[in-house]
Amino acid sequence: MAVDKDVKQEIIKKYGFHEKDTGSPEVQIALLTERIKILTEHFKEHKHDNNNKRALYKLVGRRKRLLRYLKEKDFNRYKNIVLKLGLRK
């Protein structure tokens, strides 16, 4: 259930501050959102996959913590990433 290398590079270019930026909260949130989308599609076919369901919950929690951190640090950046990704906040 991993993100393809090309898609990952595209996300880093789109949301990062520079080409090798993988640590900024925006990039981390965008990558987690992509993995969450992939797992959500997976569950449409495999409803009883409980191991990956637990992994999905962990990813959602990690994204939630990163969003909370970004909201406290810089509200404008938080607002921009939520709008770009189309998250319900």
Is the pLDDT score of 10 beyond 80? Answer: yes
Kindly tell me if the per-residue pLDDT of 2 is higher than 90. no
Predicted TM-score (pTM) of the model is 0.93
Which pLDDT belongs to residue 1?
67
Quote the pLDDT of residue 40: 95
- Please give the average per-residue pLDDT across 13-30, as a whole number: 94
| Predicted confidence (pLDDT) at residue 8 exceeds the cutoff of 70 | yes
Cα–Cα distance, 56 to 16 (Å, whole number): 24
Which class would CATH give 5-85?
Answer: mainly alpha
End-to-end CA distance of the chain: 26
Q: DSSP assignment, residue 74? A: -
By the 8 A CB rule, do 69 and 32 touch?
Answer: no
**What residue segments make up the domains of the chain, in order of their start?**
5-85
Q: Per-residue pLDDT for 73 more than 70?
A: yes
